[in-house]
């Protein structure tokens, strides 16, 4: 059996009992593909214990350096719908809401087509969500769907019967329900089974999205994208809440959270950006730090005051101030936004330390004319 996330499937979804489905998901070892890598079976079981459960398929993908969910929805929306129905069956939900970014017209059309004439006994809705970085955060998304602003709250939706699940995670549920846990575990590593959709951009010949087995050596992953197109300066792993790594460290690792952990990194948003040597890592990081400051929900002190101050300090390369600011920002907000931004900036200061010294001496080795890291929602999938 060779069905994959980005390939259409032509076998019907089998009707299986709730407990049997949940046991299969648990045995598969599937973890969330949206960033946090939380065990999917645990989340499903928690929501299954509540009343009036609702399933929210999260296809918002506000991370500018990631298009994987948009590609999945554009190429195989049926599989996401299958997975959402499997999840709804497990948690006992009748209502399923598919949430996607407002600007992603292609994705909305594909989902509409996939849902047309298909209910399988569920009430399915399609909701357009503001294209903001924090709008896809679980509590922000649920707040928006309940008629409030798309801003994070202190609540955990799954404790209140709302299963918010990333669309790639749901697509995996659709496959596991068909082919079983053993089939899923044939790929990946024993501790991190399966495949992931990954966005790779920057200094590779064919930037885009591919499905890759967990544990694949990073150099082989880059070959899937045509290989390096320039000498690498550094690698950003995990998107804008991710971590800069020195190229020689990153390229010798397998693609897994276990391998990245000693470097303080994780797969996060499943995005890898290879920064070419002619690009200035400090200028790139300062643009993203400013973007993250502007994209906060603007309702907690660390975001309102801390993130702009951190962006200022990175622009002026005031390393002492950055070190003072970090503990005042990280872990102090209602959501993980300030933590992610702080981690990203701290890794830039570490990996580009030599570049900071050169800048203070009035020199910058970057000569690239256009920026490498994208900001705003990715236009490719509108
Ligand atoms: S920490 Fe920042 S992004 Fe998160 S809720 Fe507070 S203001 Fe909004």
Domains along the chain with CATH numbers: 18-185 (3.40.50.11540), 281-365 (1.20.1440.230)
Q: What is the pLDDT of residue 73?
A: 96
| 117: pLDDT strictly greater than 90 | no
Q: 302-353, pLDDT tens digit by residue?
A: 889 999 999 999 999 999 999 999 999 998 888 889 999 999 999 999 999 9
Among the atoms of ligand 1, which is closest to the Cα of residue 297?
Answer: 8
Nearest CA to ligand 1 atom 6: 300
CA–CA separation, 3 and 82 (whole Å):
14
Q: What angle do CA 154, 149, 267 make, to 5 degrees?
A: 60
Which structure tokens are listed for 366?
């970057």
Q: What is the pLDDT of residue 377?
A: 60
What three-state secondary structure class fits 312? helix
Q: 27-38, pLDDT tens digit by residue?
A: 999 999 998 889
| 8: pLDDT strictly greater than 60 | yes
Which of 253, 216, 248, 220 lies closest to 232 in space, CA to CA? 248
Q: What is the pLDDT of residue 365?
A: 79
CB 78 within 8 A of CB 9: yes
Confidence of residue 378 (pLDDT cuts 50, 70, 90): low
Instruction: Enumerate residues lining ligand 1, CB below 6 A.
Output: 134, 151-152, 296-300, 302-303, 333-335, 337-338
Looking at every residue in the chain, the average pLDDT score rounds to 93
Among the residue ranges 146-155, 262-271, 361-370, the one predicted with the least confidence is 361-370
Among the atoms of ligand 1, which is closest to the Cα of residue 333?
Answer: 1
Confidence of residue 382 (pLDDT cuts 50, 70, 90): very low
Which structure tokens are listed for 259?
């391998």
* 382 or 115, higher pLDDT: 115
Q: How far is the CA of 75 from the centre of ligand 1 (A)?
A: 33
Q: What global pTM score does this model have?
A: 0.94
Among the atoms of ligand 1, which is closest to the Cα of residue 303?
Answer: 2
Q: What is the pLDDT of residue 196?
A: 97
* 56 or 117, higher pLDDT: 56
Confidence of residue 381 (pLDDT cuts 50, 70, 90): very low
Which of 84, 141, 148, 94 lies closest to 115 in space, CA to CA? 84
**84-89-94-100 Cα dihedral, nearest 10 degrees:** -10
Q: What is the pLDDT of residue 2?
A: 62
Q: What is the pLDDT of residue 44?
A: 97
Q: What is the pLDDT of residue 376?
A: 72
Q: What's the order of all strands across the beta sheet hosting 243-246?
A: 208-213, 195-202, 271-276, 232-237, 243-246
> Once rounded to an integer, what is the mean pLDDT over residues 214-230?
97
User: 162-166 and 54-59 as β-strands: parallel, antiparallel, unpaired?
Assistant: parallel
Q: 188-218, pLDDT tens digit by residue?
A: 999 999 999 999 999 999 999 999 999 999 9
């Amino acid at each position: 059996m060779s069905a994959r996330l980005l390939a259409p499937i032509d076998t019907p979804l089998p009707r299986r009992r709730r407990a049997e489905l949940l046991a299969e998901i648990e045995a598969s070892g599937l973890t969330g593909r949206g960033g946090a890598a939380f065990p999917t079976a645990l989340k499903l079981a928690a929501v299954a214990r509540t009343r009036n459960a609702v399933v929210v398929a999260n296809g918002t993908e506000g991370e500018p350096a990631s298009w994987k969910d948009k590609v999945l929805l554009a190429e195989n929306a049926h599989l996401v719908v299958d997975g959402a129905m499997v999840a709804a069956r497990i948690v006992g939900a009748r209502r399923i809401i598919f949430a996607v970014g407002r600007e992603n017209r292609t994705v909305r059309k594909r989902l509409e087509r996939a849902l047309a004439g298909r209910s399988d006994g569920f009430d399915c809705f399609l909701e357009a969500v503001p294209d903001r970085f924090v709008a896809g955060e679980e509590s922000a998304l649920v707040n928006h769907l309940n008629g409030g602003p798309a801003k994070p709250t202190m609540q955990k939706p799954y404790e209140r019967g709302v299963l918010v699940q990333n669309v790639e995670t749901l697509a995996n549920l659709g496959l596991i329900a068909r082919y079983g846990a053993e089939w899923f575990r044939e790929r990946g590593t024993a501790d991190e089974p399966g495949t992931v959709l990954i966005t790779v951009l920057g200094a590779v010949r064919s930037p885009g999205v591919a499905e890759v087995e967990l544990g694949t050596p990073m150099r082989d992953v880059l070959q899937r994208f045509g290989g390096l197109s320039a000498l690498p300066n550094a690698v950003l792993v995990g998107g804008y809440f991710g971590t800069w790594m020195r190229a020689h460290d990153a390229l010798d690792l397998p693609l897994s959270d276990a391998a990245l952990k000693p470097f303080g990194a994780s797969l996060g948003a499943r995005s890898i950006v290879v920064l070419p040597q002619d690009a200035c890592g400090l200028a790139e990081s300062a643009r993203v730090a400013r973007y993250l400051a502007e994209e906060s929900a603007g309702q907690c002190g660390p975001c309102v005051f801390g993130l702009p101050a951190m962006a200022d300090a990175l622009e002026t390369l005031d390393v002492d101030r950055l070190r003072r600011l970090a503990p005042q920002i990280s872990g102090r907000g209602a959501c993980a936004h300030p933590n992610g931004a702080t981690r990203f900036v701290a890794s830039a200061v570490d990996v580009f330390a030599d570049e900071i010294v050169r800048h203070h001496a009035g020199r910058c080795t970057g000569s690239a004319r256009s920026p490498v890291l994208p900001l705003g929602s990715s236009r490719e999938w509108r």
